[in-house]
A = this chain, B = another copy of it.
Amino acid sequence: MEKSKGVAYCDGNYVPVDKATIPILDPAFTKSDVVFDAVSVWNNQFFRLEDHLARFRASCKYVRMNLPLSENEIKVILAQCVAQAELTQAVVFMLCTRGRYGGGVAFGDPRTCRNQFMAYSVPYYWAIPKEHAETGGHLWIAETRRAPNVAINQRVKNFNRMDLTMAQFEALDAGADTPLLLSTEGHLTEGPGYNVWIVQKHKVYTPSDNLLEGITRLTVFDLCGELNLIAKAMDLSPEDLIEADEVFISSSAGGILPVTKVNNALIGDGMPGPISSQLGKLYWEKRAQGWHATNVADILVKPTLHPANHGHIKAREKIRN
């Protein structure tokens, strides 16, 4: 078991994440017919696990998938993926895949599929490389636009990311850290794995439409409340971003990270802004205090809930016995 790289739960077994695979004929691959969620673990504690699970269930419902496991079974699997990998800092993915078409055909009726649950842990990572984020990240407003909700509902966390990837090439080519995509209407939306925020005259704003409503985005609203800062979701333009006093991003992969450059233009004085820094500091302080935390070990204390190395059905039978 290559513990440091993460552990996957796949077909009812725990395996090193590098060994985990999916069938090439699963529409999860051939049609990106899969939804997911990703929850962070810091010092052995999940953050807002219930919120991630609720959003994951909503994603499944939207694409008409039935999770073959209960909430408790899923929690145990997620905790096992962390514990078996011996990771104290991790990002943990939960996926529901469409599963193969009835009869094993390559092209068929999605209603005939038996939906599958998968999960995996990987070492914690940052939406912007950590060393850049400390001095302030560089966002790139890409030419490629984010696919609109009317085509691909971005409130549903999904792997249809060709737009994000093409935008990422634009950003990397330009020497920036990560792209920020506009909607087809020209409003700011989101980047790969993060929401964007601006601070203008001590008020905090984030885009409202055509994006995933991040759990860390929700957390920023909470933290703004604690700091008596007005925070609001609304349509924002590229100009709003460039002219902001401060810019930061929120992500399960890194928390709250300052941005000091957008398309080569400095934001404010080019240093991480005071409100961004205050929010980032408060985020980690409160997490250290156990805010919205669920201990990995606490989930694993009940041995009867432990489906390790059993198939879904076997695991459920075991729990019922």
Contacts and interface: CB of A to CB of B under 8 A. Distances in A.
A72 interface: no
A135 interface: no
Interface stretch (A105-113, A265-273, A293-301, A307-315): A105-113
Interface of A: 5-6, 8, 10, 17-18, 20-25, 27-34, 63-64, 91, 98, 104-107, 109-111, 118, 120, 122, 125, 127, 144-148, 150-153, 156, 158-166, 168-169, 172, 184, 192-193, 253
Contact of A163 (B21, B105, B111, B151): B151
Contacts of A148: 145, 147-148, 151, 184
B168 A110 contact: yes
Given A64-B169, A144-B151, A32 B104 contact: no
Nearest to A150: B145
B106 A6 contact: yes
A132 B232 CA distance: 52
A159 B106 contact: no
A125 B151 contact: no
Given A32-B32, A151-B146, A104 B164 contact: no
A23 B18 contact: yes
Nearest to A183: B151
Nearest to A173: B111
A164 B63 CA distance: 12
Given A31-B164, A161-B33, A111 B152 contact: no
Contacts of A10: 24
Nearest to A168: B110
B184 A150 contact: yes
Given A111-B172, A150-B144, A33 B162 contact: yes
A21 to B, nearest CB: 3
Contacts of A147: 147-148, 151-152, 160, 163
Contact of A165 (B63, B122, B253): B63
